[in-house]
Amino acid sequence: LFHIVEEMKVAASLRYMPKVYVLPVSYMNAFAAGWHEKNAVVAVTEPMLDIMTRDELQAVIAHELTHIRNQDTRVMTMVSVMAGLSVFIIDMLFRSVLYSSVGRSRGKSKGGGGAIIIIVMILRFILPIITSFLVMYVSRKRELLADAGGVELTRSHQSLANALIK
């Protein structure tokens, strides 16, 4: 496993060797983590080492190293923070509009605030759904890019396909 990671590190043009871990669990999975190349980690579960051929394992490692090369952890963290921040801001705006309209007396009301309240209320309920879909969309795109990068590094689409089937 260490030699496969080292080969794929060279193929991916990474400067630093990621730490390699084998997880003693019963399911098949592999993942990469790390904010940047220097602190990157690649983890593989024990059943993957037992069931996969060398070419399939190489394709999986290439996929994971592509996540590191593309800084997907950083991208997904930023997307998630921006989505959460936008929902937080619209929630604050919703509460501000809601409570400021309650405190006003009926005689001093201008009448234009009703449209703002309705728009903010609609955004308050729709924005979390939209941001969730956007986060899922970006995640799927990053996975497809990692698949393409895995094929690019190994020069074999069949080994990645076989690994995904297993």
d(Cα 43, Cα 81) in Å, to the nearest integer?
25
What is the residue whose two structure tokens read 């509460």?
A: 95
CA 150 to chain CA centroid, Å, is: 17
d(Cα 161, Cα 59) in Å, to the nearest integer?
9
Which of 46, 64, 143, 152 does the annotation list as catalytic? 64
Under DSSP, the state recorded for 52 is S
Q: Is 64 marked active-site?
A: yes
CB of 66 closer than 8 Å to CB of 8: no
Residues annotated as catalytic (active site), given as ranges: 64
